[in-house]
Amino acid sequence: MTPRKIIIDTDPGQDDAVAILLALASPEDLDVLGITCVAGNVPLTLTARNARIICELADKPGVPVYAGCDRPLGRALVTAEHVHGKTGLDGPELPEPKMPLQDQHAVDFIVETLRREDAGTVTLCPLGPLTNIATAFQRAPDIVERVQEIVLMGGAYFEVGNITPAAEFNIYVDPEAADIVLKSGASIVVMPLDVTHKALVTAPRNAAFRALGTPVGIAVAQMTEFFERFDKEKYGSAGAPLHDPCVTAYLLAPELFSGRRVNVEVETHSELTMGMTVADWWGVTDRPANALFIGDLDADGFFALLTDRLGRL
Ligand code: BDR
Ligand code: CA
């Protein structure tokens, strides 16, 4: 089978890093056409740096990495150093990247790639605020129907918010962008906190990463150890939630996940609930379904897949 073509749009972030590593470890399944960076967890210069550090850690310096939007569509950037550390990738000691950043803007790359490749053959994998994707859709509306699928990490419903009482970080940072994407008509799969908070790196799972004994396994163990303190303190959870790797794991093994096709809309006006994703889980409105909203996963299957694949790098 030919590998599925994907563009990873990201703001690394330790969990973004693991998502990227899982994709790069799976070339028989996923063809990473490019990694497009956006401002989110940390400012753009750092996310563009971190994405290249991860490609080099995976020994894949040929993967093109692009810098995109350095701020949300219409508001000031909110970052999350309190979760991910000053660099966004705190934890392991990793060398500064040698591979170049591409000259082309990430949004131009997304537009050009979707126009060049056969319609319906490129999947977008947003792991951060949706600014790059929304900008591409606004600038080139013709590309929307050429997208095979968008599998994104963002939002929350039953699990409510992690950056405000109502909103999840990726959506909160750029709610207008999320609104554009969710209303675009593209086929969308959403990985909200409802599922990602079930993908917890418990102590034995962390030990399994470390036991790989490879630079990748050890770095992943150190990264997840670094950012677990935030969730442990906040939620009393057993370890770091691997939000973004749910996206790449879904592409590799969708049978590990379950959810419902529902209507999902984003609050863009109320200051109180700004960025909240309102999912009509119980079907109480006539609003048409626009996304597969994931609610559960087979966590043991997920970690078995992840650890096995990381061991290939
Ligand atoms: C999301 O926000 C970021 O901090 C993580 O990388 C993830 O994409 C979780 O709310
Ligand atoms: Ca992210």
Ligand 1 pocket by C-beta < 6 Å: which residues? 13, 15-16, 41, 80, 83, 127-128, 153, 162, 168-170, 243-244
Proximal ligand: closest to the CA of 153: 1
- CA 23/CA 77 separation, integer angstroms: 28
Q: 0.95 cut: is pTM over it?
A: yes
Distance 201 CA to ligand 2 centre (A): 16
Identify the helix (H) or strand (E) that includes residue 219.
Answer: helix 215-235
Q: Are 257 and 153 in contact (CB under 8 A)?
A: no
Residue nearest to atom 4 of ligand 1 (CA): 41
| DSSP state string for 187-212 | -EEEE-HHHHTTSEE-HHHHHHHHHT
Alpha carbon nearest to ligand 1 atom 6, residue: 13
Q: CB within 5 A of ion ligand 2: which residues?
A: 11, 13, 16, 127-128, 244
At position 101, the amino acid (one-letter code) is: L
pLDDT tens-digit readout, 57-75: 999 999 999 999 999 999 9
Using an 8 Å Cβ cutoff, are 84 and 90 in contact? yes
How many residues are there in the chain?
313
Of 14, 21, 79, 244, best ligand 1 pocket probe by most atoms within 8 Å of the beta carbon: 244
Confidence (pLDDT) at 230: 72
- pLDDT given at position 236: 73
Q: Which atom of ligand 1 is nearest to the CA of 12?
A: 6
Residue 62 near residue 53, CB atoms below 8 Å:
no
Distance 47 CA to ligand 2 centre (A): 10
Return the axis-axis angle of helices 299-310 and 203-211, rounded to nearest 10°. Answer: 20
User: Identity (one letter) of the amino acid at 242?
Assistant: L
pLDDT on residue 1 = 78
Q: Kindly give the number of the ligand 1 atom that is closest to the alpha carbon of 14.
A: 6
Burial readout 214-245 (b: 16 or more C-beta within 10 A, e: otherwise): bebbebbbbbbbbbbebbeeeeebebbbbbbb
What's the pLDDT score for residue 84? 86
pLDDT attached to residue 237: 72
* CA of residue 7 to ligand 2 center, whole Å: 14
- Residue 37 in tokens: 């960076």
Please tell me the distance from the alpha carbon of residue 221 to that of residue 200, in angstroms, as a whole number: 13
Smallest-distance ligand from the CA of 234: 1
Give the CA distances from residue 250 to residues 62, 98, 153, 239, in Å, rounded to whole numbers and listed in that order. Answer: 25, 31, 11, 21
Ligand 1: which of 169, 196, 227, 277 to mutate, most ligand atoms within 8 Å of CB?
169
| Structure confidence at residue 239 (pLDDT) | 81
Question: Any idea what DSSP says for residue 3?
Answer: P
- Reduced to 3 states, what is the DSSP secondary structure of residue 114? helix
Question: Residues of the chain whose pLDDT is less than 70?
Answer: none
| 243 classed as catalytic | yes
The per-residue pLDDT for 172 is 98
